[in-house]
Chain A
Amino acid sequence: MSELTLTILRLGLLVALWLFVFAIVGVLRGDLYGTRVTQRVRRGTEPSGPIPGASPARPAALKAGMLSGRRGSHPRKLVVTEGPLSGTSLPLRSQGTLIGRSPECALVLDDDYASGRHARIFEQEGRWLVEDLGSTNGTFVDNRRITAPTPLELGTTLRIGRTVVELAR
């Protein structure tokens, strides 16, 4: 094998290594701009005006389905829709799901406005209920501070401090 071939192979390996590195850096560059601003035109059936909240880009059809069509079906998990843990989901347990800052809770909130043991979601007679466990800043269901166990439906918003959770299937 000629010396030239050997040299090409030798330097080729170094070049290939660096191309690999640059390829990765290229992929990561896209990752750095994790959020981007896009223009979208809503369909006419949408309620007019800007919607405050986390996920305005959501297709309208899905929203309609969640809010109306399947209201009777049974929720099986809890989804955080707003706050530092946004996107987290966890299964609902019939014996009760504890929410708060304490590490023993099922949903541990990293939120200065939440209490250690803040609220509990539990099942009773086929329905999910939430009760406040004597929190300082209160628990809100559909923006009303609750004082007694309150039933939760699919899509009902439950707010604890800066965190908003919903039931989902």
Chain B
Amino acid sequence: MTVVSRFAPRRGRNVELLLVVAATAIVLLAYVNVGVNTHGEVPSSLLVLGGGFLGIALAFHLVLRWRAAYADPILLPVATLLNGLGLVMIHRLDIAHGRSIGEGMALRQLMWSALAVGCAIAAIIIMRDHRVLRRYTFTAGLLGFVLLLLPILPVIGSDKNGSKIWISLGPFSFQPGEIAKIILAIFFAGYFVQTRDALSVAGRRVLGLTLPRARDLGPILVAWVLAIGVLVVERDLGSSLLFFGLFVALLYIATERISWIIIGLTLFAAGAYAAYLMFGHVQTRVLLWLDTFSQEALATSDQLAKGLMGMGAGGMVGTGLGRGRPDITYFAESDFIIPSFGEELGMVGLFAILVLYALLVERGLRTAIGARDGFGKLLAAGLAFSVALQCFVVVGGVTRVIPLTGLTMPFLSQGGSSLLANWVIVAILLRISDHARRPVPESGPTPIGEAPTQVVKL
């Protein structure tokens, strides 16, 4: 007898364990590379640090075995590897700048990593079902917009690297946009699940395209005004693009109407162009982008030029970790960590890193496809897409695909808020994927065929 059975018994926890161990080994290999290339010896702290790092990752793994046994087995190893590579690069730049372990940024980043993983573990344990997040749809909406606009406030908002996307509270500085990314994804997912029916009602057809009704344009206009506001006031194309892109993507998924994308892109392009015409700082950014090596651009900032020269110096296989000069570029450990990797690992290494990100995003989107509830689908897709978009904005910025912005590379870049946000994203995706991959409970036969069903299609 031929039987179609669901292929579910593979939880993948053992695969995950192997991959986490492999990821740790790769991170340690990278660490050894830095050690022998800068000091000529294998660092003595290798086993301690390696053990600690593996411990953190294994703790997460064990919590998954305990609380989310069916969660996707790829997400954790990939995030672990990226986080670890970022740590190694930051440590390597500490050495270049002559900072000791104690005063260096790598130690802080390691503590933040531990804290971020701790938060992710807590999220997995506390949040037994991602659907509880839906209860906080409108709270999340309010909080998200407040966070997004927080850096504009005069006292706590601070200007770093030309963009006002930081807030400072005493000794702590913080990029609220990172957290806002998650909170807004929750809000958009919850909101669109409720309103998708209304938003997908067809309006008039123009040029073969079914447009939405005029009265449904409200939300997208609000989002657009906010996005352009972020672009102009916070001087940050990246946050603006990320936030608006997330909105349009989820709107499209919820309504399945391509017209929303066209409306969104048109609005954004028009707004960005108007901002370009009206504001000097936007023009400067565009000049730096299009004509990086002109005298005029170099006089403003040679950061991008230096980053590009770093990548050029790396060529195909790179100089080797610890043998290049990524420290010549400013912000080599945060916004420009990708050129730092390009220089020392070469195109081959950078490709591997980009593919890792692509795999991470793919698992997120696969989770969205597998999710059994609309909210979960939208949330997983939104979070995964936000990671993809952020990678694009950052890497596209340093490789001159789009104007440079001040966003950080998820997991790699130095910065606590970024790490925290991205590990929480991984936690939420793991929770949704656990739900999505959990096998269907067994049940009795349901002989529907015999039912005298009256079917009336609405």
Contact = CB atoms under 8 A, between A and B. Distances in A.
Interface of A: 1, 5-7, 9-14, 16-18, 20-21, 23-25, 27-28, 30-31, 33-42, 50-58, 62-63, 66-67, 79, 81-82, 84-89, 103, 108, 110, 112-113, 136-138, 140, 143, 145, 155, 157, 159, 164, 166, 168
4 pairs of A and B residues whose beta carbons are closest in the complex: A87-B440, A10-B320, A81-B443, A17-B352
Contact of B37 (A6, A40, A112, A166): A6
Interface string B372-408: 1110000000000000000000000000000000000
B26 A13 contact: yes
Contact of B372 (A7, A31, A84): A84
Contact of A136 (B12, B323, B373, B456): B456
A14 B348 contact: yes
Contact of A10 (B7, B33, B450): B33
A14 B3 contact: no
A164 B29 contact: no
Contacts of B366: 31
B438 to A, nearest CB: 7
B3 A20 contact: no
Interface residues of B, number: 70
B372 A88 contact: yes
Contacts, number: 193
A143 B4 contact: no
* A interface SS class: mixed
B458 A112 contact: yes
A24 B456 CA distance: 47
Contacts of B30: 13
Given A21-B359, A36-B7, A159 B448 contact: yes
Given A17-B26, A23-B22, A57 B5 contact: yes
A6 B446 contact: no
Nearest to A40: B3
Interface stretch (B74-82, B113-121, B270-278, B290-298): B74-82
A162 to B, nearest CB: 9
B110 interface: no
A109 to B, nearest CB: 10
Interface in B275-326: 317-318, 320-321, 323
A14 B33 contact: no
Contacts of A113: 455, 457-458
B450 A35 contact: no
A86 B443 CA distance: 11
Nearest to B449: A52
Contacts of A1: 36, 40-41
21 contacts: A10-B33, A10-B321, A16-B29, A17-B26, A27-B19, A38-B5, A39-B3, A67-B444, A84-B372, A87-B372, A87-B440, A87-B441, A103-B194, A113-B455, A136-B456, A137-B456, A140-B451, A155-B444, A157-B444, A166-B444, A168-B441
B441 A33 contact: no
B360 to A, nearest CB: 10
Interface in B142-182: none
B212 interface: no
Interface in B425-458: 438-458
Contacts of A63: 442, 444-445
A67 B443 CA distance: 10
B438 A87 contact: yes
Contacts of A67: 444
B36 A6 contact: yes
A140 B15 CA distance: 43
Given A13-B30, A14-B349, A6 B19 contact: no
Contacts of A155: 443-444
Contacts of B37: 6, 10
Contacts of B209: none
A9 to B, nearest CB: 5
B446 A53 contact: yes
B356 interface: yes
A164 B3 CA distance: 21
Contacts of A84: 372
Given A57-B5, A143-B450, A12 B29 contact: yes
